Copies of this chain bind each other. A is one copy, B any other.
Amino acid sequence: MFSPGQLAGRPWGVWRYREALGLQPATEVVTLGEGGTPLVAANVTGQRVLLKLDYLCPTGSYKDRGATVLVSKLREWGVSEIVEDSSGNAGAAVAAYAAAAGIAASIFVPAHTSAGKAAQIVRYGAQLVRVPGPREATTQAALAAAERSFYASHNWSPYFHAGVKTLAYEIAEQLQWTAPDWIVTPLGGGSLVTGMYQGFGDLRREGIIGRLPRFAAVQSERCAPVYHAWRQGLKDVPPVEKQDTAAEGIALTSVVKGPAILEALRGANSVLLTVSDAELWMALEHLAGRGFYVEPTSAVAVAALPHLRRQGLAGPNDRVVVVLTGSGLKATDKIVEHFQRKEADSEHAH
Interface residues of A (CB under 8 A from B): 11-13, 31-34, 36-40, 42, 53, 56-60, 96-97, 99-100, 115-116, 119-120, 122-125, 174, 284-285, 288-293, 327-330, 332-333, 335-336, 339
Question: In the complex, how many angstroms separate the beta carbon of A47 from the nearest chain B beta carbon?
Answer: 16
Taking a contact as CB atoms under 8 Å apart, the answer to whether A32 and B115 are in contact is: no
CA of A165 to CA of B308 in the docked complex: distance in angstroms?
Answer: 42
- Contact of A40 with B33 in the complex, beta carbons under 8 Å: yes
**Which single residue of chain B is at the shortest CB-CB distance from A98?**
B291
Interface pair A288/B124, CB less than 8 Å apart: yes
Are A56 and B56 in touch, CB under 8 angstroms?
yes
Q: Report the separation of the CA atoms of residues A288 and B11 in the bound assembly, to the nearest whole angstrom.
A: 24
Pick from B38, B123, B291, B333: contact of A99, CB below 8 A: B291
Contacts of A124 in B (CB 8 A): 288-289, 291, 293
Answer whether A59 and B288 are a contact pair too, CB < 8 Å, given A327-B329, A330-B329: no
Q: Are B36 and A288 in contact (CB under 8 A)?
A: no
The 8 Å CB contact of A119, one of B59, B290, B335, is B335
Known contacts: A12-B12, A32-B40, A330-B329. The answer to whether A58 contacts B291 by CB under 8 A is: yes
Question: Are the CB atoms of A58 and B56 closer together than 8 Å?
Answer: yes
Bound form: Cα–Cα A54–B56 in Å: 10
CB nearest to A55 among chain B residues: B58
Residues of B within 8 A of A100 (CB): 42, 290-291
Select from chain B the residue with minimum beta-carbon distance to A43. B100
Which of A40, A174, A284 has the most chain B CB atoms closer than 10 A to its own CB?
A40
Query: Could you tell me if A123 and B40 are in contact, using CB atoms closer than 8 angstroms?
Result: no
With CB as the reference atom, state the residue of chain B lying closest to A287: B123
Closest to A115 in B: B332
- By a CB distance below 8 angstroms, the chain B residues around A12 are 12, 36
- On chain B, the residues within 8 Å of A38 by CB distance are 11, 13, 32-34, 36, 58
Nearest Cβ on chain B to A283's Cβ, whole angstroms: 12
14 pairs, A vs B, C-beta closer than 8 Å: A32-B292, A33-B39, A33-B56, A38-B58, A59-B293, A100-B290, A115-B336, A119-B335, A119-B336, A120-B293, A123-B288, A123-B293, A124-B289, A332-B333
A335 to B332, CA, bound (A): 13
Q: Which residue of B lies closest to A64 (CB)?
A: B291
Which 6 A-B pairs give the minimum distances between C-beta atoms?
A33-B38, A329-B329, A100-B291, A123-B288, A96-B291, A125-B289
Contact assessment for A96 and B293 in the assembled complex, using a CB-CB cutoff below 8 Å: yes
Residues of B within 8 A of A290 (CB): 99-100
Question: For A289, what are the chain B residues with a Cβ–Cβ distance below 8 Å?
Answer: 99, 123-125
Residues in chain B near residue A11, CB distance under 8 A: 38, 174
A40 proximity list for chain B (CB < 8 A): 31-33
Residues of B within 8 A of A328 (CB): 120, 123
Contacts of A332 in B (CB 8 A): 115-116, 119-120, 329, 332-333
A123 near B56: Cβ-Cβ < 8 Å: no
